[in-house]
Amino acid sequence: MPSLLKIFLRSGPCWDSPAFLRFYLAALRNPPARLLLLALRVKFSPQVLENIRRSGLPAEEKGRLFSGAMNLFRAGGAYKTTAPFRSPLTDSAMLGKVPPGGLLAETGASDGSSSLGLLEAARGAEVMLTDLQASFPYRDTALGRVFYNTDGRYTALKTLCLYLCSGGASSPAAADGEISLLNPLVEEKFPAARLLPLDIFSGELERKADALKCANVLNLEYFTAGEIKRALQNLRRSLKEGGWLFICHNNARYKDGEAWVALQRSGEKMRLKEEANGHELLPLLRSTDFSDLTG
């Protein structure tokens, strides 16, 4: 059960208006205004995402606001950071491994906007977008709308102009509906695109892929070495024999702001085959702790 202090810090005044969100995101770039907003504990509920989708704004503006709002939410222990055309080096390398008509899947796709470059360059390959949190289920009650994570670990009530977040572990009854986390710009440009739920530690794709992309998820800021190994062992199940797993990381410390490693499935192994710009996981993947998987 979360402490009262945690509930207090997670809760606050809430206005799910696209116009107020635009002001809020701009204010975050101004240090004094940022401090004031944080002190006031201003919040947004997932309803702001649906309000953006239903607004009459141009598609590009919808996409920018939606991604800005997504960066305010968590999926498990990680924030849902996203930005369009984020990993061009990885996309280019990965597309060279996928045969015409093959299946390429991205895990941790957030709202899908970071996959726009991949979707545009797919050249006949099928692209499947997945994330731990693909939607926010909700129930409507007399007090307001209650939102849940798909894993049931996050509970929040939006009532009038208040956002009350318990962060509890209660699972919903049958949901009254859900708010999709697929960016409206992706929906407009690629009407067939879908965002599906996938847990990298336990989930499996509905069919095996020729290549998997895991962008800005598997890194040492979010996970321990043991957790990363467990994720690799599980993701292997979603690859065809000979299929490729690309793990990329966007960070200013890398040349061109991006580094990636490519592992190829060989039976029960995930063999390290290629890399670019010195990804932080390289020493780990080459260590004796990983030799039973990558050796």
CATH of the domain at 207: 3.40.50.150
Q: Is residue 152 part of a domain?
A: no
Q: Which residue has the higher pLDDT, 168 or 206?
A: 206
Task: Give the E-state strand segments of the chain in sequence order.
Answer: 12-13, 74-75, 78-79, 103-107, 126-131, 135-140, 145-148, 155-159, 162-165, 177-180, 195-197, 209-215, 239-250, 258-266, 269-276
Q: Is residue 118 part of a domain?
A: yes
Closest residue by Cα to residue 115 from 196, 29, 26: 196
Radius of gyration over every alpha carbon of the chain, rounded to an integer in angstroms? 20
Closest residue by Cα to residue 136 from 64, 18, 218, 48: 48
Closest residue by Cα to residue 67 from 90, 43, 47, 49: 49
The model's pTM is: 0.88
Give yes or no for residue 169 having a pLDDT over 90: no
H helices within 97-204, ranges in order?
A: 116-120, 184-189
Give yes or no for residue 173 having a pLDDT over 90: no
Mean pLDDT of the chain: 91
Give yes or no for residue 93 having a pLDDT over 60: yes
Predicted local confidence at residue 270, as pLDDT: 97
Give yes or no for residue 3 having a pLDDT over 90: no
Closest residue by Cα to residue 173 from 202, 140, 195, 199: 140
Residue 220 has phi, psi (to 5 degrees) of -75, -5
CA gap 182, 141 in Å, rounded: 25
Q: Is residue 160 part of a domain?
A: no
Range of the domain at 202: 77-134+181-295
What's 183's DSSP letter? -
pLDDT band at 168 (very low <50, low <70, confident <90, very high): low
Q: Is residue 153 part of a domain?
A: no
CA gap 128, 140 in Å, rounded: 31
Q: Is residue 142 part of a domain?
A: no
Q: Is residue 18 part of a domain?
A: no
Closest residue by Cα to residue 50 from 192, 184, 174, 185: 184
Q: Is residue 109 part of a domain?
A: yes
Q: Which residue has the higher pLDDT, 77 or 240?
A: 240
CA gap 242, 161 in Å, rounded: 53
Give the chain's domain count.
1
Predicted local confidence at residue 207, as pLDDT: 94
Q: Is residue 139 part of a domain?
A: no
Predicted local confidence at residue 249, as pLDDT: 95
Q: Is residue 276 classed as helix, strand or coil in its secondary structure? A: strand
